[in-house]
């Protein structure tokens, strides 16, 4: 009788995102306080890097509850395609739109 042992090794590659401006949390800081002060989303499980939304982008929009891509684009006077191109953080399906998120709404980068 022979025995067979199978060993599986699973490794999850972690992608390190370069961060231009790290932030040190201090006693008394809260997620919502940091979010408001730094202009970033505090949506759960989102990786936060306190750098400018996109290089060369001076026109930004902070997402509020009820915003949609078309409503944001219309208000900024740009196309939805431009909004998506300026904000790769929206995800491949453009389903990563959360209140507090800062989007680049400039005509071009």
Domain ranges of the chain: 52-109
Distance CA 56, CA 93 (A): 24
Residue 56 pLDDT level (bands cut at 50, 70, 90): low
Span 6-10, average pLDDT: 37
- As its CATH architecture, domain 52-109 has Roll (3.10)
C-alpha 100/C-alpha 62 separation (Å) is: 6
The reply to whether the predicted model has a pTM over 0.85 is no
Mean pLDDT within 70-99: 86
Task: Give the HSE-up count for residue 92: Cα atoms under 13 Å, Cβ half-sphere.
Answer: 0
* Average pLDDT value for residue range 14-18: 47
């Amino acid at each position: 009788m022979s025995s067979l042992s199978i060993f599986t090794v699973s490794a999850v590659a972690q992608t390190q995102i370069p961060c231009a401006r790290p932030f040190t949390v201090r006693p008394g800081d809260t997620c919502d306080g940091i979010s408001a002060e730094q202009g970033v989303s505090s949506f759960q499980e989102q990786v936060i890097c306190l750098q400018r939304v996109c290089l060369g982008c001076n026109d930004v929009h902070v997402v509020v509850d009820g915003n949609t891509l078309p409503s944001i684009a219309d208000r900024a006077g740009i196309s939805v395609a431009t909004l998506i191109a300026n904000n790769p953080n929206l995800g491949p399906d453009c389903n990563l739109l959360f209140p507090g998120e800062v989007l680049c709404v400039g005509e071009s980068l």
